[in-house]
Structure formats: structure tokens, C-alpha cells
Structure 1
Amino acid sequence: MKDQLKLSALMRLHWRWWLLSLTLGAVTLGSVMGLLTVSGWFITAAAVAGLQLAGAGTFNYFSPGALIRFFAISRTASRYFERLSSHQAVLLLLQQLRLWFMRRFLASSFRPDTQSADLLQRLITDIDRLDQWPLRVVAPVFWAGLISSGWLAALWFWQAELAQIAVVYLLLLLCVPVLGVVLGYSRACSLVELASQRRHELLEPLSVLTMLQLHQGWSDAEQQWLETEQRYQQLLWRQQLLDLCCQFLLLSAIALMSFHLLVTALPLLQNQQISIAALVAMLMSAMALPEIWLPLATLYRHLADSKMAKRRLNQIQPAIENGRYSTLEGPLQLELQQLSVGYPAAVQHTLPLTISLKAGDLLWLQGPSGVGKSAFLSTLAGWLPPLSGQVLLNGTELQLYRSNTQRQQISLQSQHVSLFNMTLAANLRLAKPEASDEELRQALADTVLSEWVATLPQGLETELGEYGVAVSGGQARRIALARLLLQNTGILLLDEPLVGLDPTTAQQLVHNLRRRCHQHILIITSHQPFAVDTHCYQLQLKVL
């Protein structure tokens, strides 16, 4: 499906940060290897020069010392900035993931059989696991390949005979993470699924603890969880054992390689083809390989975590359309017949309401907080079923239309709006990606924001900050309203859109909405009275 989650596509949007992170990580590991190599050469060469009194006075201590300080500073600085760049890249990736899910939620309703606790776990735990792919899979493989290739090339130019031996052991090192994937990938995938099952079997019985105890079902639920926990711990122990085995194999291969290189290099040393200082430098450089290769010991686990997280998130599929009708016929008309609304668990609900609205009408619903205004709008949007009565759209009951048809005809802005850490234009284009700058400016003008936008140095390209912290609450609600207007639906439901606005701005906003939505049905709820003309309906919601 075209809406499936693709991490590579999301990462390409900020490829410069990922490239910077990979480059700085490679510089860090290269500095570690350079530091060990130069330090080994310097200490050995200085000792040899000290034994040879004739050469002690002519030995250059300053250049190697400066090179050691350079590698030490480079390692620290590049590690620090690599952390900063990788964190920035991950945060940008998480931002794109949130946007992906926002579009997915807005585009369709979700399966009703998906339990909210499991859905919440997928949206939190599984999204957190997705950064395993770039940080724990892509980056370590890239660094190991790059640094090992560079080390092997330098060894080849120095002594080709030693490089031939190193090639064989590097190939053996490469086989270890491959072996881990072959032996542990499926088990790691099973562990992710079992962890989700274990959490479900623990939390669900606790939510109905009283009923289980009354009906003597708690012992069965406890026994089921204990069995799942035992299987989980067994799989976890096997995974930890495989981690240790892979780490042991990597360290053993590097140790055998170092020993083999030493044995092979001793005849070269006796024939004075290489110096003792160069031999120690070569062995010290090999000692940097564990830091490069050890992260690959758990490669299979991070690969499984990221792949399973992606798979579980993609399993959150749009609900199957059960409605009978997919199109509307004739002029837009909304009829409420003895409609009474309320939340399922509420002890109060509204009095029955009967009214008929056509295109161009404005319905103003006034009432104090808690009277049921938000529940009323949620019912008209199809989010809540009516307690009694009917909502008819063009003569057909609202529930008989497909959900995508309802969304194409009805838009609802609740009291809680969502803005993202993007530009003003990008936030608006969530509703209409192909909208031009002129359309965006017109929507902002209709929500009485044009003068404010004119004062912004960057205009539509102004960053709104995380959760819209760069703007006030009233501005955030009007930006969300401008985004809603861009959807151009036939029925607009606005829940308390005038909160925080002065009377002049509120009057101008309502006037602009009437003008823009003259071919739409506009329904506004408010806890405060407002002067509307004779073409509008003013109703007072009451509670039984």
C-alpha cells in the first residue's frame, strides 16, 4: 500500500543531518584508531631512542606529541558533535513519524477491534524502537566497513603480506553478525511479540480485578501471565546468551588476528624490514577494532526491534468502510430530528432538538460549560452515536454514509488544536498539500490573522515551534481554523472558536466566516452570548 511506513523516505527529508552524524562518527572511530596507533609508535620509539644514547638527543618528541593531542581532541570533539547531530536527526525523524501518523489518522478511521492500550503501546514503544534502525543498524555497519577498509588499505601499502592475513580475519568478523542474524533474528522477533502479549495479559486483568475476583477468574489470569512470563524469560535468556557468544567470537577473532599478525611480522622485524615501533603501532591499531566491531554483535536484535516496530505500526490499518452510501445527491441539507446527545457514561444529556439547516445557514449553540456542546458537535461529526433521534444528511441517516464521505462533507475543530514544529505554511498545507501561498494568505485573512502574519519577518515560513509554542493560544486556534477552512467541506463545526478573542476580533471572525462559508452550513458552539443577525438560529442547550 502507498501509505505504508517507509523509514528511508522519512530519513531522506533530513539527509544532511544523517550524513553529518555518520561522518562525525567515522571521524571519532578514526581518531580512536589513530590515537592508539601513534601512541604505541611514540612510546616504543621513545624507549628505543632512550636505550640508544646516541640517538636520544636527536629524537623528535614534539611532532608525535602534537599528533597524539590532535587525535585526542578530535576524538572528544567529534564524539560530542556526533551525539548532537544524531540526536537532532532522530528528533527530526520522530517529528516526521508524528506527521505521518497525523495524516493517517486524519485520512481514515481505525479498526474498532484495535484496543486502545495496544494502540497506545504501538504509538509509544514501537515508535521509540524505530530509531534502532539508523542508530544501531545503519551507522555501526557503515562505520565498521569504512574504518576497517581504511585500516586494511593502510596495512596493504605498508606490508601487503600482513594485509592478506587481515583480509581473511575481517571476513571471519563479518560472518559473526551474519551468524547472529541467522540464529537470533526470528527469536528476537518472537520476543517483541511476546513482550506485547505479556504486557496485555498483565494490564487487562488488573483493569477488571474486582470482577475477576468475584467470579473466581483471577487465578486463571494469573496462571496465564506466569506461563507467558516464563516463556518470555526463556527467550530473553537465550538472546542474552547469543549476545555473549557473538561478542566472544568477535573478540576471539580479533585476538587471533593480532597474534597471527605478530607471528608473521617477527621475521620481518629480524630482517629489519620493519621497526619495532612500527610493529607495536600496527598491533595497537588492531586493538581499536573491538570498539568498531562489538556493536555488530547485537545487530540482529536491533534489526528485529526496528523491523517488528515498523510491521506492527503498519498493521494499524484503516477501518473497512461499512457505510452504504458514498455520495450525496442534491443541495446540502442537515436535519436534526428529536436529537438528544451525550457521552455513553454521562449522567446527563441534552433535551431533544429538531431543526433543519441548508447551505448558507449559521446555527449558534449557546450554553454554559458542561451542558453538552462538545458532545453535540461530536455527534454531528459522526464520532458519537445519538442517544435518541436522528441526524439526516440530505435525507439519509448520517451513519449510513461511508466514513470517508462523512469526512469530505463534515469538518470539526475541537477546543484542543494541534500544531507541529514546522513552518506556518507547512502546518496549513496539512489540510491541502497543493494549496498556493495566495490560498494560505486568504485563509489567514478570513481568520483575522493577516495583519499578524504581515509583522512576521519570515511570513509564511515562520517556524511555529513544538506544539505551537511560538504563538499564543488564540492565534493557535485561528491557525487551526484556517487549516480547517482549506479543507472546504460542506459543514463546519466549530467548538468555542472565540475563546481568548476580544469582542472586535470575534465580531470580525464571525463576519468573515459568514462571508466565506455562504455556501456551507456553519455550526458554532459558545458559552457566551453573541449578536447574530436574523438569518441565524440561536438556541440554548439544556440538560435533563
Structure 2
Amino acid sequence: MWADLARVLRLWAPRRASLVGALLVSMGSALSGVALLALAGQGVAAGLAAGGIFGLAALVWVRPLVLLRPMLRWGERMASHAAAFRALADTRVWFFRRLAERMPGGIGLRGSGDLLSRVIGDVDALDRLYLGGILPAGAGLAVLVAVLALLMGEPWLMLLVGLPLALALVLPLVLAPAATRAAQRAADHRGGLRAAVADPLAGLEDTLAANAEPRAMERLRTADRELMHSQRSLVRRSAWAGAAGGFLAQLAVLAALAWGLAGGTATAGMVVLALFLSVAAAEALGLMPRAGAALASAAAGARRLFEAADTAPPVEEPAAPAPLPASNELVLQGVRFGWRQDAPVLDGLNLTLREGERVAILGPSGAGKSTLAALLTRLAAPEAGTIRLGGTDISQLPAAELRTRIVVLSQQARLFDDTIAANLRLAAPGAPDAALWRALVKAGIADLVRSLPEGLETRCGEGGARFSGGEARRFALARALLPPAGILILDEPTTGLDAAAERAFLATLATACEGRSLLLITHRLTGDEPLDRVWRLAGGRLLPATA
């Protein structure tokens, strides 16, 4: 638990100045409350000693603090929340980057609903580390030190008042580890609930076609019951901790009162001061044990984040990267690879793709065509053999730089629910409109975009729902053509298209791929493709074939 929370604080190091600044404001706000009641207590004691209303003139010193304290409370809220929100935004960016490095081929066995829960719910839980744990602890410590310092002249009174307050401050550290397990269960069940909602909605057509709504609803109800049960357990712990904190804070007040009634050695003024200080400390320390639940929730969120973020990447980056070569010639020699060790998909594969050459690789589903595309873009690494770009082994090239030379249009290429321009700029964020139009012209879809009232600002809909399958594939092709990559890999680019749309799409490749090398990976040819060579993938190797 503590190691995970310490790691979160290290992630927040760039925000250290704002986080520490907000903590100091919070401590100042808490101390202003102590000072307010300490001066009030002194005023009351002076009034009692003077035996009349005129003795209460000492309360005039309270008035500046009456104005200062709400200002400090406002500043604390503004500063602390601003610092926490910036730190959480940094954490989301860090987590997304880690996922992109570790799951470049897709989410794999991790459900989208669970990942959504981690990147939203678990990151949000981290604000409790700062707002619900560190800030109250800092304020509580400052208050405890101030109370002990003011009562130092009466050791026994200081002990009677200070001991319950110290226990209230330490209690969260004692309760947090046990509460972390309950928070972990609640976080897991929250992820399960999101998955139970997201999965049937993502495949709603299949769910409805199979009449699976009752099963989806039952899964949702089960996930909801599990989450409610785990949340009740966490709430019970928090309630007991809050009750314990309130009891300890009140115990300090009762201890000061009992000392005065018992006729202790302290003066009446010191007893009154102790009473007022105990009341002041109760606000800062009375709810401190609930910080244990906050720390537990933050620790559970951190553990789930790091569990996903620490997954080993499929391909390690080179320790000493080589510079990108000038040539775009691809050479594969003796490449062997399998997703399982006992079942190689490619075995002894050799291939040369010269600059500007257009080559097709044919093969049935499962023959390893998409695997070859994954190897060429370093989404996977060969078990044996070499893959060279311009004479340099691609294992020595940073993946991000390699992908500036090799662009893949996969069979799962997706249009997002954004504008046409935004979907295209996914491949080249700074591309001007003129570059977008050139890519659209090459992909044979520019006329359609010009006919739309909003042009490039037309929204595509979820998964490109506004357009036909053939139109969506052309937009995806335009996106692949936008960056100036020397090699274009088309992996089953006509998946889901009818015969006419397929022929029309493939006929555009001569213009679309002008000046680039083309590797077309498909299960069959139509005869409309502009190709220099055709290979057939069988038994993990490439064999010559006729186009």
C-alpha cells in the first residue's frame, strides 16, 4: 500500500510546488482556527478574572482572525483542488502512454470497460490521497503541534488533551491497510460493472440478434449487487473510523473539563484555554480517521493502475537506438515467429521489398499475413531471423521512428466520432487542409467530401456510421496516405466491401501509392491491383504465385 502511494507522489513530482503550496495554505487555515479559539479562550479567561464585562476587551484581538480564516479556507479549497486536478490530469496522460506502449496491438485480454474504469475511476480515486489524506494529515499535525506548544506550561493537562488528539491523528495509518483490501474489492467490482454495461452496448446488434438482453441484464444486476456489497463494507469501515475520530476529539474536550473540575494544578485561565483549544482541534482531527478510508481508496486505485501500467511491453525499445537509414528497402531473412511457442505462424520466411515496388502476399485467414504486418511495425518481435530497413535491423530502431517510415492500414482501421479533418489528422496532427485534400484525392473520396455541407468538418459518427463501408475504408486509406511514409502496408483493406466497392478501392492504389513501396496483404486478388510481384504465404513461408 505505502509503496504504491509513494510511487504516486513520485509521479506528481512535477507538480510539487503547487501541491506543497496548497498544503501550507491548508495548514495556515487550520492554525488560524486554533489561533481564533485560543485568543477567544484567553479573552474569556481574562473577562472571568476581571470580574466584569470590561475584562472581555481582550476579545478585540479575535476580530482580524474572524476575517482571515474564511479567506484562508477559500484559498485552501481553490489551491488544493487546482493542484490535485492538474496532478490527476498528468496521471491520466502517463497511464495512457504506458498502455499505448504495452498494448500496441489492442487491449487484448483486458476488457474495455475495465480499462475505462481504471483510467477514470481509479485515477479519480487518487485525489483522495491528497485531498482526503495528505491535506487533513498536514493540517491535523500542525494543529496538534500548536495545541501542545500552547499547553506546554502544564505537562499533565497537555498530556490529557494531547494524547486523544494524537491518537486521532495516527488512527488513519492504523486503519488504512485493512481498509485497502475492501477498497480493492470495490474498485474491482466497479470495473466489472462498467464492463457489464460497455460490452453489450459495444456489440448491441449481436446482443439483440441473439436475444441476449435478459442475460446481459442479469450480468448487470449481478455486477451491481457485488459493487453495492463491497461499497457497503467500505462505508461501514469509514463510519466506524469517523465515530472513533469524533470520540477521541470529544475525549480531549472532556479531559480538559474534567481536569478543571477536579481542581488540578492548572489555573482557571489555562483550563479555559485547553477547552477552547480542544474544540479547535476537534474540527481538524475529529474526522481524521476517515482519512484512512481515503488513503485506502487511493491505494486500491494506485494498485490497479500500476498493475496494468507495469505489464511488460511486447517489444523492448533499443538501449542504444540506431539512426534511421536513408533507404526504405525491406529485407526479411529466416524470420520465425509464433504467438504460442509450440505453434510457429512464420517459419523461415524470406522477403525483399525494394523501394517503390508493389508486392502482394496472398493467403487464407490464419496463415500469418497480419502477423507479418505486426512484425514489420514492431508490434511483435521475431523469435529468429532478421528484419532490416535500409540495411539496419529494425530491432535497433525506436518504434515511433520506424512507424514514420512504415504505415499500416489494418483491416480493423476505425473512424472515430469526430470530424473528417480530425480523423485524418490522427496520422499527422499538424497537417494543413491542403494536405488533407491531397490525401482525399489520392484515396478517391475528395468529391464526396466536397459535396457535404460541412466539408472537412463533417462528423463521421461512431465507427464511421455516417458513411458506407467503402467510403469509410477510403477515409482510412487517406489517413494512411497523409504522413510521408515510404512504405505502405495494406492488411486486408477491402474487408467487408462488396465486389464492386472492392474493385473500385483497389483500382485507386496505382495513384494512391505513387512514390511509395506497397505491401498488399490479402486473401485474394481481383486483377485490378497494380502489382510487380505476387507471393503466396503457406506453411509459414512465401512461395511465388501468379497474379
With the shorter chain as reference, the TM-score category is 0.5 to 0.7
Give the aligned partner of residue 151 of structure 1: 147
Residue pair 1:112, 1:319 contacting (<8 A) in 2 also: no
2:132 matched to 1:136?
A: yes
Q: Which residue of 2 aligns with 1:311?
A: 303
Of 226, 235, 241, which aligns to 1:246? 241
2:109 to 110, 113, 127: 113
Q: Paired residue for 1:94, among 85, 88, 101?
A: 88
Instruction: Give distance in 1, aligned partners of 2:315 and 2:322.
Output: 13
Range with bigger deviation, 11-20 or 141-150:
11-20
Corresponding residue for residue 260 of structure 1: 255
Out of 102-111 and 138-147, give the one that drifted further: 102-111
| SS of equivalent residue, structure 1 residue 296 | coil
Partners of 2:273 and 2:433 in 1: CA distance: 72
Tell me the residue number matched to 2:195: 200
What is the rounded CA distance, in whole Å, between the counterparts of 2:147 and 2:92 in structure 1?
41
Change in Cα spacing, 1:235 to 1:81, as seen in structure 2 (3 Å) is: same
* Cα 1:523–1:215 shift into 2, 3 Å: closer
Mapped contact 2:322–2:396 kept (Cα < 8 A): no
Tell me: CA distance 1:89–1:200, structure 2 relative to 1, closer, same or farther (3 Å).
same
Contact 2:32 2:69 (C-alpha < 8 Å) held by counterparts: yes
Within a 5 Å distance, the mapping from 1:5-44 to structure 2 comes to 6-43=7-44
Tell me: CA distance 1:288–1:242, structure 2 relative to 1, closer, same or farther (3 Å): same
Cα distance change of structure 1 residues 249 and 320 upon mapping to structure 2, 3 Å threshold: same
CA distance in 1, matches of 2:96, 2:16: 22
- Partner of residue 63, structure 2: 69
Name the CA distance, whole Å, in 2 between partners of 1:408 and 1:5. Answer: 34
Q: Deviations for 1:159-186, whole angstroms, at most 9, x for unmatched residues?
A: 1121122243234424542453254221
Matched residue SS, 2:233? helix
Q: Are positions 1:85 and 2:79 aligned together? A: yes
Q: How far, CA to CA, are the matches of 1:543 and 1:155 in structure 2? A: 90
Shift of 1:27: 1.0
Residues in 1 aligned to 2:93 and 2:177: alpha-carbon distance in whole angstroms: 35
The total of aligned residue pairs comes to 386
1:282 aligns with 274
Q: 2: distance between equivalents of 1:246 and 1:130?
A: 20
| Structure 1: 5+ residue stretches without partners | 337-354, 364-377, 385-391, 415-472, 481-492, 502-519, 525-535
Match of 1:451 in 2: none
TM-score normalised by structure 1 residue count: 0.58
Q: Distance in 1 between matches of 2:245 and 2:285?
A: 7
Give how far 1:79 is off: 1.7
Three-state SS of the structure 1 residue aligned to 2:404 is strand
Q: Is the 8 Å Cα contact of residues 166 and 257 (structure 1) preserved in structure 2?
A: yes
1:499-538 CA-to-partner distances (Å, cap 9, x unmatched) read 369xxxxxxxxxxxxxxxxxx97589xxxxxxxxxxx949
Superposed displacement of residue 17, structure 1: 1.8
> Residue 230 in 1 paired to residue 217 in 2?
no
Aligned match of 1:170: 165
The 1:257/1:5 distance shift into structure 2, 3 A limit, reads: closer
Residues 123-175 of structure 1, C-alpha deviations (whole Å, 9 max, x = no match)? 22222222222222222222212211221221122x11211222432344245
Whether the 8 Å contact between 1:328 and 1:394 is mirrored in structure 2 is: no
For 1:35 and 1:329, the matched residues in 2 are separated by: 67
Q: Percent identity?
A: 17
**Aligned to 1:301, which of 290, 293, 303?**
293
Q: 1:135 is aligned with what amino acid? A: L
C-alpha separation between the residues in 2 aligned to 1:167 and 1:281?
Answer: 13
CA–CA separation in structure 2 for the residues paired with 1:246 and 1:44: 35
Residue by residue, what CA displacement relative to the aligned partner does 1:313-337 show, whole Å, maximum 9, x if unpaired? 22133542499xx99999733479x
Aligned mates of 1:335, 1:307 — CA distance in 2: 48
The reply to whether residue 499 of structure 1 matches residue 433 of structure 2 is yes
TM-score (norm 2): 0.58
Is 1:407 equivalent to 2:400 in the alignment? yes
Q: How many angstroms apart in 1 are the aligned matches of 2:296 and 2:183?
A: 6
Cα contact 1:109–1:319 (8 A) shared by 2: yes
Matches within 5 A, 1:350-499: 358=355, 382=377, 394=389, 406-411=399-404, 497-499=431-433
Show the counterpart of 2:118. Answer: 122
The runs of 5 or more residues in structure 2 that have no matched partner are 332-351, 359-372, 380-386, 408-420, 436-483, 489-513, 518-527, 531-547
- Partner deviation per Cα, 1:345-378 (whole Å, 9 max, x = no partner): xxxxxxxxxx9764xx9x9xxxxxxxxxxxxxx9
Q: Distance in 2 between matches of 1:234 and 1:205?
A: 23
Residue 215 of structure 1: which of 210, 222, 226 is its match? 210
Is the 1:202–1:225 Cα contact (8 Å) retained in structure 2? Answer: yes
